[in-house]
Amino acid sequence: MRFRSHIYATVDGCVDRGATVAIMNAIADRLAAIAARNPALGFQVIPLVEPEDYDDFDVDAGLLAPVTRGRLPALNVNLSFDIDRCADGDPEIDALLAAHGMVLLASIPADE
């Protein structure tokens, strides 16, 4: 199996813990519905509210810094596609993430 992962972050709408968790739930619910139709998709939606959350969720603060600039709360979304079974993207996912101000920070492995 070959995988490609995409890492996103945003601070848009993340004004406090409650707002961040609400955005997390909205994104996770939609991604779960998409993953039910596309089992080659894996995802994590991670709320970062306290500085300790970076360690607790094993998130690289430096990778997210271009978007967060150290500001919390923030939200991190990690997508993983089994590219032997499906394309490594989805227009519905792209629209969902764009609607929440998610910024693509990295694709691993990098696009060729």
Q: Give the residues across from 107 on adjacent strands.
A: 6
pTM: 0.92
Domains of the chain, start order: 3-105 (3.30.70)
Close Cβ partners of 102 (under 8 Å, ≥ 6 residues apart):
8, 9, 10, 75, 77
Q: Is 7 exposed, middle or buried (0-12, 13-18, 19+ CB in 10 A)?
A: buried
The per-residue pLDDT for range 63-95, each reduced to its tens digit, is 999 999 999 999 999 999 998 887 778 899 999
Q: Please list the ranges in the chain whose pLDDT falls under 70.
A: 110-112
Residue 104 structure tokens? 């693509």
